Amino acid sequence: MPPGAVVVRDTSSIHLFHLILTVLSCGAWAPIWIIHAIVMAVKQPGAPLPPVPGAPMTPEQKNRMALEQAHARIRRRQEARTLAMRDPLTARELMIGRTDMPPDRRPYDDGGLIDVNVVPAQELTRFGLSMQDAERIVRLRAETGGFSSAEDLAVVANLPPHLVPELREYGLFLR
């Protein structure tokens, strides 16, 4: 068998066998048949069973869970950004991008967006900026009335180009 080949098994004969045993034994095999049917319905071909609560996870399960959580944060950022662009007043009320506020005061999970036009300098260091650059951005923000995009911020503040993707992904620019 070549490496990476997937083996597909036909389980219909197993189900038929269990059904016959259940009928012939007047239902004594029914619990086993039901448990087997549930396990087979939950299990996807080639995928491990979901983790059992309280049991240690395998490295594959940990990796899969971390990947799912990262994708969920990306989706939350996209949803929050869309909401903020459509309805900035609601975004402000929901404190989207206000990483300077404690999480229990922020009613909306925005996936880690940072509103560059509102947060203090300390929060801007999350982009990989030095404290001096972050303080300079806060001064420029006050002078210019805020920034409209990651590119605008990078040009006005003369930031290195390698920061733009990070600013684009996590930055929110509400005015």
**35: Cβ contacts below 8 Å, ≥ 6 apart:** none
20 band by pLDDT with thresholds 50, 70 and 90: confident
pLDDT, greater one: 42 or 61: 61
pLDDT tens, residue by residue, 85-120:
999 999 999 999 999 999 889 999 999 999 999 999
State the SS3 of 8-66.
CCCCHHHHHHHHHHHHHCCCCCHHHHHHHHHHHHHCCCCCCCCCCCCCCCCHHHHHHHH
For residue 27, the model assigns a pLDDT of 66
**79: Cβ contacts below 8 Å, ≥ 6 apart:** 111
pLDDT tens, residue by residue, 30-51:
677 677 667 666 665 555 666 6
For residue 161, the model assigns a pLDDT of 92
pLDDT tens, residue by residue, 138-161:
999 999 999 999 999 999 999 999
